[in-house]
Structure 1
Amino acid sequence: MSDQPNFWQTLLSVLSSFFGVQSERNRERDFRHGRPIHYILTGLLMATLFVLGVILLVRWALSLAGI
């Protein structure tokens, strides 16, 4: 059995790192068994989704304000 983190564990690790609340146990698992490319790609995807979400939220707020 592999200790490599699955998709959901990788996603939760990246989300935790965005907020700075990653547990020491999970951080060790990520560094020992995770593949860096998985975390890089997941991080880029989450950052892109965050930026797009902010853009959409601002556009929505501006439309409500009549601008």
Structure 2
Amino acid sequence: MEEKKSHKAPNLLQQLASVAAAAFGVQGSEARERDFAHGKTSNFIILGVIFTVVFILAIWGIVKLVTSLAGVN
């Protein structure tokens, strides 16, 4: 007998975790199915854009830090 899955929409933390996992290609099938069945597309798009901007800024900051520590301007 198969368990019934929760029919609740994912909360903000679950959505953020899904966006991060999907960005790195490790999204689980259960979370993906929950997101497609009950998630709101606009929330995932907005979180995806925010995640991408923060990720790019973090990489840029790390590169600036490393180059300044190495003496390269």
TM-score with structure 1 length normalisation?
A: 0.92
Q: Which has the larger radius of gyration?
A: 2
Q: How many residues align?
A: 67
The C-alpha deviation readout for 1:3-31, integer Å capped at 9, x for no partner, is 11000100010011011111111111100
Matched, 1:49 2:54: yes
Give the unaligned 5+ runs of structure 2.
Answer: 1-6
Q: What do you get for the CA RMSD once the two structures are aligned?
A: 1.4
Give the unaligned 5+ runs of structure 1.
Answer: none
Give the number of the structure whose residues are more often helix, by fraction. 1
Which residue among 2, 5, 10 is the counterpart of 1:5?
A: 10
Q: Segments of 4+ in structure 1 off by > 2 A?
A: none
